[in-house]
Amino acid sequence: MRIDNGELQLGKRLLKGRQARISRLIVLSLLVGGSLAACQAAVTLPTEPAPSGQAGSDPASTAGLIQLQDPLDEPEYYCVDIPGAGLSLNLQGALQAHTCKLRAAEDETFTFNFPSVGQIYMEAYQLCVEADSVEAGAELRLQECTDQPRQRFVYEEGRIRLRDAGTETLCLAIAPGAGTPTGGPSHLRRDLGLRPCAEVEAALSEWKIP
């Protein structure tokens, strides 16, 4: 069978056209694939946040003051405090209510719900607040952080309550009466302890925590 020159040239043109279309399809496919890959790389899939505290509840607070909501006789308010100051700081002494420091001080800085839920932690000394007993009138001190039930507190409706106080519900409260001057320009102090929640007035037992 003879193929003349015209038919041969036509066949070549058709072949070149088909090759060009195939090349364009390959380029287009590569461009689309690259765009999809770029989009997938740019998308950040949301991750589920890790739970705080136990079973995702009771998150740890930030470090700060535990301040009585009512100023009472102290315009600068009362805060939970370690007795003494500087070289005379008494880490073994019973915690007290003292005039809040204008600048955050290590001896008044606590973290609630740390290192475990219910604990009240002092990072500066790596100690936890612990009640002396589960009886009304019990004082509170700093102790090594343990699983001791007397180190477990609950913050509810402004009150700090000992979680396991037996038959009586005990809340953190300051003593009634006037504050005692402590030598500063306007510093006052009062005793601090556990009182029956149903008996102590709100002004003496409602707190702001960090």
123-159 pLDDT per residue, tens: 999 999 999 999 999 999 999 999 999 999 999 999 9
pLDDT at site 108: 94
Is pLDDT at 36 greater than 70 in this prediction?
A: no
Quick one: pLDDT at residue 23? 52
- The confidence score (pLDDT) of residue 21 equals 53
Q: Tens digit of pLDDT for each residue in 59-87?
A: 667 899 999 999 999 999 999 999 998 88
pLDDT at residue 114 in the model: 96
Q: 77 vs 30, which has greater pLDDT? A: 77
pLDDT of residue 188: 95
| Mean local confidence (pLDDT), 103-107 | 81
Show the tokens assigned to 208. Answer: 């702001």
pLDDT of residue 165: 76
Return the domain boundaries, the chain.
1-39, 61-208
String of b and e for 147-156 (b: at least 16 CB within 10 Å)? eeebbbbebe
Percent of residues, the chain, with pLDDT higher than 90: 60
Higher-pLDDT residue of 120 and 29 is 120
pLDDT tens column, 189-206: 999 999 999 999 999 999
Lookup: tokens for 167: 């038959």
Query: pLDDT tens digit string along 153-190?
Result: 999 999 999 998 776 899 999 999 999 998 766 799 99
Least confident of 7-11, 81-85, 90-94: 7-11
Entry pTM: 0.70
More confident residue, 52 or 181: 181
Retrieve residue 192's tokens.
Answer: 């601090």
Query: Any idea which architecture 61-208 has in CATH?
Result: Trefoil (2.80)
Residue pair 189/97 in contact by the 8 Å Cβ criterion = yes
pLDDT: which is higher, 164 or 6: 164
